[in-house]
Amino acid sequence: MAVDMNHALGDLCLHWVSLRWSLMLSARLKPAVTRVITPVAAFALRRGITPNAVTWVGAIGVVICALYFYPRGDFFIGTLAICILALSDLFDGTMARLSSAGSSKWGGFLDSTIDRITDSSILLGVSIYLINRDDQLAYVVVATLVTGLLVPYIRAKAESFGIPCSGGIAERTERLIISLAAIGFDGLGVPYVLATGMWALAILGSFTVVQRMLIVKRAI
């Protein structure tokens, strides 16, 4: 029993390290990807395509993939499709920077709102799959979904009072990479990775909520 427990803990540590490497890799790849898509973004603008249109197409695609593939248990295919569609987030931002009008308030509001929708659909799709299998991990995924909504809400509410409230141990980018890495690796049959990722997100998200609440409390 002790040997099995040690083996399980070792696997959990290994999967957590792999998630951390995913975060580092994403930070390194983003500038390179931006350089590649900039000419494409400029071409799209010349053809009359707007950044908001790209935002909508990417968001609808992510929601459809998350709610179709994940409840069926097709975690790897679903994650691969979502990762490709998620490039629209970089694409529309690049288009907004290149356009003569620049980033608009409506565009920023739309982007932020759609981020909440797409992030929630990913976790909702996974939770549906787990609920259908009577898996207790579904409770953790729901908790992760709730904290993922609370983090940006606290920031928005604080900023409505004129209090800057960004930062925290797990912002959207970190949460999204961890969730997609955990779901995708689970689809490849890697043991414990989904549970590790969801528990990590629930804990880190809760910690971030507390961090932002303390920021507001100190500022009032």
Q: Which residues of 174-209 are buried (b: 16+ CB within 10 A; e: fewer)?
A: bbbbbbbbbbbbbbeebebbbbbbbbbbbbbbbebb
Percent residues over pLDDT 70 in the chain: 83
pTM for this model (two decimals): 0.80
pLDDT in tens, 129-145: 999 999 999 999 999 99
More confident residue, 39 or 59: 59
| CA-closest candidate to residue 70, choices 10, 115, 130 | 130
Helix, strand, coil percentages (3-state) for the chain, rounded to 5, are 85, 0, 15
27: pLDDT strictly greater than 60: no
Can you give the pLDDT at residue 216?
Answer: 92
**H or E stretch at 14:** helix 2-46
> What confidence category does residue 168 fall into, taking pLDDT thresholds of 50, 70 and 90?
confident
Domains and CATH numbers, the chain: 2-219 (1.20.120.1760)
Confidence of residue 32 (pLDDT cuts 50, 70, 90): low
Task: List the catalytic residues.
Answer: 115
Q: What is the pLDDT of residues 86-128, one digit of tens each?
A: 877 777 777 777 776 656 778 778 888 998 999 999 999 999 9
Residue 97: partners with Cβ closer than 8 Å, 6 or more residues away: 103
Q: What is the pLDDT of residue 30?
A: 58
Of 141, 147, 123, 149, residue with least CA distance to 67: 123
pLDDT band at 31 (very low <50, low <70, confident <90, very high): low
For the segment 191-207, what is each residue's pLDDT rounded down to a tens digit?
999 999 999 999 999 99
